Chain A
């Protein structure tokens, strides 16, 4: 039996059907409303103090620190002495984008910018230590 991810085609087909049929059901059951004056009840973004340095700090944290922290955690994972190196690299490569995206959101969403900075610097430090230990071992 071939092992070239054949079953993924079935999963992909199911997910595509799920998405399209769900959207079709939503559009077919759309509710018409005549009242255009009623105020909308939609979730509001947090209002927070704004300043130029905060914006830059958040931007830099979301762009650079999140990238380095995610790559460092991924590299530390790839260095674990479990399984074949190529498999660790492939699986780690799938984890990194999710982690990176989550860190970007943390940097931009947290009201206290220092928390994500400390968290990411900590993750970077621990991962770097693990990488160094793995390379020197």
Chain B
């Protein structure tokens, strides 16, 4: 018996072609069934990373502030309470200026940023302009719930996340040469081989990022399904206790009327306790009742969680603080999910990395289906109609999203972004019926997106030129033009290659 043979035999047993083929069959089944939805969630998610920048671009007018005095919070609270007295009874939130969003925003009654009354305020806390951000709200709604009703959409996106996680895990199992081929990218050979190489290399190198965003996304989407199932056992059915342990609080009955405590005094207390932390927001629940509660949320430099909070009761007494509760691992995990999922923890550099790797996940999703279509063509069973439909799905979305951003610039309606998106998606599928060649269709849609992006940047610049107080407006316009140039690059290559 010689040495090396058993090693070879053991390796063959671990990753037998039969196992690889079986896992690949499962991988293909999940991918083909859900690729379009996965792509839509990933593409909108890549843009949702820049939601704060998009909000600033959408409304570049209004006061731009570096910081405000604590008394501006009290003034802002009184002003938003006067504007929306009924909504303010539920909750009022005042977001303080930060490097990412240099605005003082007042909101009443909103639930996770949706609905309610929202205003930009000046340095004294006086409302200056009603907040209007249809495009960024639309993109976030598309990503988190595919425009479906809140509970249904969020759960569906969570289930799509499970499918994506299954694809990532099966992709690793179905690729036994993952390490050996890590740097192999062949261009110019068979189309299927090119797409397979692209799919596998993007999958290999982006895997840590994909696993992070998918796992956190599943948890955010299926939070109530998973959390309630596990908490019911851990807390023996006492879900109220479970939510309380996690830092949430159930509804309490309205109590007797009470004066609203000074929030500026609470800010001073928090500043004294945590001088290195920056105060992000102040919110008050059940304002004007004896059960009212004020949360002062802070962010410490270098920390992932953006949800460290100090809680004050109706008399202005501090009843909860990060050090008093001793931040359990459960709260740390819970409050790190959103920054980790959206890349909101390291400034614009981390956001840019998230955006690029998010687009890599979109390309990987696209190439997965393209491999299947190319395999059919190689075997003499081409599916030209499906090739065009898939091309329209992939390249139609940039058109649709560009229109979702463009239409609200000119048409101030609540539904403008959704109408623009629907029109763009429908146009792409209509073009798929007119074209015979999927590559020509892809090129047309790319160029259409490029033209729309340039038109969007120019229109936005013209519409807001006299009121562009936030420089983010100009920067995003410039990024849109650079994006258009990247999308139009194939046309210039074709023109250069054409004989004179």
Give residues in A with beta carbon < 8 Å to B: 2-6, 8-9, 12-13, 15-20, 22-23, 25-27, 29-36, 38-46, 48, 58, 62, 71, 74-79, 84-94, 96-98, 100-102, 104-111, 131, 134-135
- Rounded to whole angstroms, the CA-CA distance of A62 and B29 in the bound complex is 11
Q: Which residue of A lies closest to B215 (CB)?
A: A97
- Interchain nearest-CB distance for B7 vs A (Å): 22
Given contacts A4-B300, A98-B165, contact A45 B187 (CB under 8 A): no
By the criterion CB–CB under 8 Å, are B26 and A109 in contact?
Answer: yes
Per the bound structure, the CA–CA distance linking A36 and B24 in Å amounts to: 25
Query: Does B256 count as interface, using CB distance less than 8 angstroms?
Result: no
**Which residue on A lies nearest to B18, using beta carbons?**
A46
* Cβ contacts A to B, 14 pairs, < 8 Å: A2-B300, A5-B304, A32-B187, A42-B375, A71-B229, A75-B233, A78-B230, A89-B242, A91-B329, A97-B165, A100-B165, A105-B170, A107-B26, A111-B22
A115 nearest CB across to chain B (Å):
11
User: A65: shortest Cβ distance to chain B, in Å?
Assistant: 13
Whether B230 lies near A30 (C-beta < 8 A) is no
Contact A46 B25 (CB under 8 A): yes
* Min distance, Cβ B260 to any Cβ of chain A, angstroms: 30
Judging by beta carbons under 8 Å apart, are A97 and B161 in contact? yes
B 336-356 contacts with A by CB, 8 A = 336, 340, 345-346, 350, 353-354, 356
Give CA–CA (A5, B175) in the complex, Å.
33
Please classify how large the interface on chain B is, using the bins under 10, 10 to 19, 20 to 34, 35 or more.
Answer: 35 or more
Identify the interface centre among B29, B227, B331: most chain A CB within 10 Å of its CB. Answer: B29
Is residue B69 within 8 Å, beta carbon to beta carbon, of the partner chain?
no
Residues in chain B near residue A62, CB distance under 8 A: 30
Name the distance in Å between B248's Cβ and chain A's nearest Cβ: 11
Partner of A9 from the list B170, B345, B354 (CB cut-off 8 Å) is B345
- Tell which of B169, B222, B305 touches A5, judged by Cβ atoms closer than 8 Å: B305
Contacts of A17 in B (CB 8 A): 353
| Binary interface encoding of chain B residues 78-107 relative to chain A, with 1 for a CB under 8 A from any of its CBs, else 0 | 000000000000000000000000000000
- Contact in complex: A104, B183 (CB < 8 Å): no
Are B350 and A94 neighbours in the complex by a CB distance under 8 Å?
A: no
Closest to B17 in A: A43
| Residues of B175-210 contacting chain A, CB below 8 A | 175, 182-190, 192-193, 196, 201-202, 204-209
Is A109 touching B22 in the complex (CB atoms < 8 A)?
yes
| A23 to B185 Cα, complex, angstroms | 10
Q: Are B162 and A97 in contact (CB under 8 A)?
A: yes
Give CA–CA (A14, B106) in the complex, Å. Answer: 37
Q: In the complex, what distance in Å separates the CA atom of A101 from the CA atom of B167? A: 8
B232 touches A40 (CB 8 A): no
What mask results when residues 231 to 267 of chain B are scored 1 for a CB within 8 Å of chain A, else 0? 1111111000010011000000000000000000000
Interface of B is mostly: helix
CA distance A46 to B162 in the complex (A): 23
Q: Do A23 and B165 form a contact, CB below 8 Å, given A4-B304, A40-B378?
A: no
Choose from A8, A26, A39 the contact partner of B336 (Cβ within 8 Å): A8
Which of A19, A22, A75, A111 is in CB contact (< 8 Å) with B230?
A75
**Min CB gap B156→A, angstroms:** 12
CA distance A94 to B233 in the complex (A): 16
Name which residue of chain B comes closest to A76, CB basis.
B233
Contacts of A26 in B (CB 8 A): 182-183, 185, 201, 205
Closest to A27 in B: B185
CA A31 to CA B356, docked complex, whole Å: 23
Q: Chain B contacts of A75 at CB under 8 A? A: 229-230, 232-233
Collect the chain A residues with CB atoms within 8 Å of residue B219's CB: 93-94, 97
CB contact between B330 and one of A9, A20, A46, A84 (< 8 Å): that residue: A84
A79 to B236, CA, bound (A): 8
Report the minimum CB–CB distance from A135 to chain B (whole Å): 6
B163 within 8 Å of A by Cβ? yes
Is A108's CB under 8 angstroms from B303's CB? no
Residue from the list A4, A71, A78, A106 in contact with B305, Cβ < 8 A: A4
The residues in B between 390 and 442 inclusive whose CB is less than 8 angstroms from any CB of A are: none
Find chain B residues with CB under 8 A from A76 CB.
233
Q: Are A5 and B189 in contact (CB under 8 A)?
A: no
Q: Could you say which residues of chain B place their CB within 8 Å of the CB of A41? A: 193
Return A36 CB to nearest CB of chain B, in Å: 6
Shortest CB distance A86–B (Å): 4
Tell me if B329 and A87 are in contact (CB < 8 A). Answer: yes
Asked if B28 is at the interface (CB within 8 A of a chain A CB), the reply is yes
Contact of B163 among A85, A90, A104 (CB under 8 A): A104
A30 to B198, CA, bound (A): 10
